[in-house]
Structure 1
Amino acid sequence: MREALIVWGGWSGHEPQECAAIIKDILEGDGFKVYVEHSTEAFADPSIHDLNLIVPIMTMSKIEKEEAKNLAEAVQNGVGIAGYHGGAGDAFRECVEYQFIIGGQWVAHPGNIIDYTVNVTKPNDLLMQGIEDFPYTSEQYYMHVDPSNEVLATTTFNGDHAYWIDGVVMPVVWKRKYGKGRVFYSALGHVAKEFEVPQMRTIFQRGANWAAR
C-alpha cells in the first residue's frame, strides 16, 4: 500500500486543516494509507524516506534547517511531493532549498480574488487529458518559476490590476524532477471550497498520484 504524509499549518486564511481533510479523503480513496501531522517537525523524521508522497500545506511558515535538509534528501531519493497554491508555493519563504524543490515561489496576486482563465498547454499529458481551458475565480498567482518545470497549464494576466504585466503568461500547473523524486504543483486552491471545482480537484488528484508513482 502506498503511504502519504500531509503536513498542515501556517496561515489560517488558506484553511489548511480543512484542505488537509479533503486531500486525505482523496488519497485514501485512491488506496493510500495517509498520515496527517500539524508541525514541520514531521519533515525531520527519518521515516519520511519510506513514504511514497508528501503533501505540504504550510503557507508562510518557517522550517528548521535540519527539517528542510531531511525533506530535500527524501525527495532527492525518490519520495514524491505534491502541493498547491500557497500551501506549497508560498511556504518557507526563507528556505531557498525548499523553493528549489517546488520549482516556484509566489510573489503577488494582483486584484486578489478575480475571474480568470486557466489554459491547458499539454492536453495530451496524462494529468490533463480530457480537461479543456476553464474559467476560475480565485487569486491569480504571479510567481517566480524554475525554467526547468514542465508546464501543463498557464494563465494570462490582463493588466487590469498591474498594468506592467499585461499579457504575461504565467505557469499555473507544472511537474518536475528533484533528484529521483517527482514534484507536482498547482497554483489553484485558495480555500477548501475550490476543491469543488471539478478541474481543480482532478488535476490535483492526478498530480498527487503521478508524484507518488
Structure 2
Amino acid sequence: MSNKTALIFWGGWQGHEPETCSQVIEKMLVKEGFTVRREEGTRVLAEGDLNLFDLIVPLMTQVQVEKEELQNLIAAVEGGTGLGGFHGAMGDTFRMEPAYQFMVGGQWVAHPGNIVDYRVEIVKPDDPVVTGIGDFDYRSEQYFMHVDPSIKVLATTAFDGAHAPWTRDTVMPVVWKHRYGAARVFYSSLGHVATEFEVPQMREILRRGLIWAAR
C-alpha cells in the first residue's frame, strides 16, 4: 500500500459520465492507499502547488482551460507528478491545446461507427501493466487517434474499415505509456461510460497504469 496523493479533476461533456467515473477512480485509488482530492472543473489547477500530488487524473472532455491552469499542470508533470487517465476524459480533454496533447502523447480524432465490437491485442505482454491479461474482445467506441510515435505502445486495435473504408487494417494504439520531463504518463482509450469498468481487463489495465504513473 502506498502513502501517495492523487488529484482527480472532472467535468465537461456529460456523455462520458465524468462525475460517476471520477467516483470510480477515487475508490480505486483509495483502495490502493492513495489520499485523493476530487474536484469539479479546472480551477483547482491554479490553486496551490500541484507538485504536492504524486498523480493527476484528468476526467474531463472538450473544455477550455485558462492559460495559468494549463501551465501549472504541465509544469507539475514536467517536474515529476505522474499523469494517467483514459478515453476522452484524458485523450480529448483540452482539444484546443497542443501543449497538453504533446504531454499526453496523443489526441482523439474519430470513432468510426460509434459503439462497435473490436479486438484489443496486447503487444508488450512482458510489461507489468498488461502482463497476464491477454488479448480480449471489447464493445465501445474504437478510438482513432493522432499519436506521438515515441510512445511505448502496450496494446493495439485494428480497424476493419466497415465504417470508414480508408482505415481498413490500420493498427491503432489503445494503451500506452511514456515519459514527459521527469514524469511517467499512462493512457488507455478504453472506458466510454462507467459501466465499462465492469470489464475486468479494462479496469485492471487502468488500475495498474495509474499506479505505474504515480511518482
TM-score scaled to structure 2, two decimals?
0.98
Shift of residue 39 of structure 1? 1.3
TM-superposition CA deviations, 1:87-134 (whole Å, max 9, x none): 000111111111011000000000000000000000000001111000
Instruction: Write the letter of the residue equivalent to 2:106.
Output: G
Q: Which letter maps to 2:149?
A: P
Partner of 1:36: 38
Give distance in 1, aligned partners of 2:166 and 2:38.
42
1:122 to 124, 127, 141: 124
Query: Superposition RMSD on alpha carbons, in Å?
Result: 0.6
Q: Which runs of 5+ in 1 are unaligned?
A: none
2:56 and 2:41 mapped to 1: Cα distance?
13
Q: What stretches of structure 1 move > 3 A for 4+ residues in a row? A: none
Secondary structure of the structure 2 residue equivalent to 1:94: coil
CA contact (8 A) 1:46 1:70 kept: no
Q: Following superposition of structure 1 onto structure 2, how do residues 66-105 of structure 1 map, counting pairs within 5 Å?
A: 66-105=68-107
CA distance in 2, matches of 1:174, 1:69: 24
Aligned residue number for residue 67 of structure 2: 65
CA distance in 1, matches of 2:11, 2:75: 22
Q: Identify which of 53, 56, 72 aligns with 1:54.
A: 56
Q: CA deviation at 1:18?
A: 0.4
How far 1:42 sits from its partner (Å)?
1.0
Q: 1:186 is matched with which residue: 171, 181, 188?
A: 188
Where in structure 2 are there 5+ consecutive unaligned residues?
Answer: none
Contact 1:4 1:51 in 2 (8 A): yes
Rounded to whole Å, the distance in 1 between the matches of 2:145 and 2:209 is: 19
Q: Which residue number corresponds to residue 208 of structure 1? A: 210
State the AA in 2 paired with 1:70: N
Counterpart of 2:150 (choices 148, 165, 171) is: 148
Amino acid corresponding to residue 160 of structure 1 in structure 2: A
Q: Is the 8 A contact 1:113 1:137 kept in 2?
A: yes
- Name 1:19's counterpart in structure 2: 21
The one-letter code of the counterpart of 1:88 is M
**CA positional deviation for 1:138:** 0.0
**Which residue in the other structure is 1:197 paired with?**
199
Equivalent pairs counted in the alignment come to 213
TM-score (norm 1): 0.99
Identity of aligned residues (%): 57
**Matched residues in 2 for 1:69 and 1:191: separation?**
29
Distance between the aligned counterparts of 1:39 and 1:119, measured in 2? 34
